[in-house]
Amino acid sequence: MKARKGRVVFHIDMNSFYASVEAVHDPSLRGKPLAIAGNPEERKGIVVTSSYEARAKGVKTTMQVWEALRKCPELIIRPPNFQRYRAASLEMFRLLEEYSPLVEPVSIDEGYMDMTDVFRNGAGAEIAGELQEKMKRDLGLPCSIGIAPNKFLAKMASDMKKPMGITILRKRELDTKLWPLAIGEMHGVGEKTAEKMKSLSIETIGDLAGSDMQMIEGVFGVRGRKLHERANGHDLREVDPESVNVFKSIGNSVTLPSDTRNDEKIASTLKSLSASVARRMKKKEVCSSNIQITIRYKNRKTITRSRQLTNPLTEEEEIFKEAYFLFNKYWNEEPVRLLGITSLDVTPLKEAYKQLDLFTYKEEEKQAKLSETMEKLKGQFGEEIFNIKKTKTQKEEKKDVRKGTSLDKDFLFEYWGQKRKHSQDHD
């Protein structure tokens, strides 16, 4: 689809979102070094995000809690409250929709707005300032806003001034504002890609923009061509509010409390992961025809292996069976540090087609009815109704697995569901 000329795109990036939400909930935290982190006694005790006061003392995301405390002894640590963050994010997006019907959430704390049709006499900065002030006044949440003619440049602009920044990035300013930036600062360029770019003498975004596109595409494929185009300020992607309803995979992973070769422990973890993935698939009303397993070893080497299936699946036991098969086939018997299961190629149930022969369809029908009944009972009486024999350790593992859920993907689905319900209520 050809993009409209003269578009005006805002990228809204919430500043230190989790920490900001906690400060709204507890005003005594305002202005203090704050970190959101897991249990410091476990491996998951890493900093998820931190306030700007903490960052000024050297506290960084993914830093171990003990290291963060060494750099900032007065650091306040709070555990994450994802329900609180989801609620705040939904309020944030509702506020954005007051300014434009074209709002595209891309994660729990950022999104795009197409402001072309509401752009008043070129007063982009004034509108952004009004929106920013309203966000801070009504929700207590700071944000940075990038304004540009397309999504990529708007994203880059929002990163240029934090916190509470407003940056306009025009195509005629690329040579002074964008191109001098290090290649690693470019959106879409990860650490490994940046290293490979540097091996080609591409140190800055400007170097990439001026490089030979055929050479870049030859090394990095189609993705390289897109990066080259965006370095030159080209991005035809529309701001699409319905994109939040598009997802291709549902996965979950968990870091084990200790490295293990124990088959019982591994099987138990895979069962918990399978249950989590199955629940999320049912919530989204999808099935999968491709199961992938992730194994990370003690030395941090990580492998992913998948298996294409003849028939799509949705049930916990089916997912576990496939995942356990893949694990036993590809495990090198070294201690396992992390396990993950992902359902790939997900398809809405109503669109899925499954060939059932005369010998299986009755069993399939019976299994579907049983699963539906079990889900209703779980919804009424809780997950533990079928888990009476579980030990305390297994329950704790299940809790850990839920913490490993992809929060952004779940939030986007929740956002879409609430938006659709709101639309239906007002029809």
User: What confidence score (pLDDT) does residue 357 get?
Assistant: 38
Orientation of helix 407-425 relative to helix 263-284, angle to 10°: 20
User: What confidence score (pLDDT) does residue 122 get?
Assistant: 58
Q: Is 316 marked active-site? A: no
- The rounded distance, in Å, linking the Cα atoms of 141 and 127 is 17
Distances (CA, A) of 234 to 149, 174, 175, 210, 357: 9, 11, 14, 14, 51
Structure token pair of residue 71: 């750099």
Domain architecture of the chain: domains with CATH: 17-79 (3.40.1170.60), 172-238 (1.10.150.20), 247-355+389-419 (3.30.1490.100)
Model confidence pLDDT, tens digit, residues 199-215: 999 999 999 999 999 99
- The rounded distance, in Å, linking the Cα atoms of 11 and 124 is 12
User: What confidence score (pLDDT) does residue 347 get?
Assistant: 79
User: What confidence score (pLDDT) does residue 246 get?
Assistant: 63
SS3 203: coil
Which ranges of the chain have pLDDT less than 50? Answer: 1-4, 42-43, 353-362, 364-365, 383-405, 424, 427
Binding residues for Mg(2+): 13, 109
Q: Which of 22, 110, 318, 397 is catalytic?
A: 110
Binding residues: 13, 109
User: What confidence score (pLDDT) does residue 4 get?
Assistant: 47
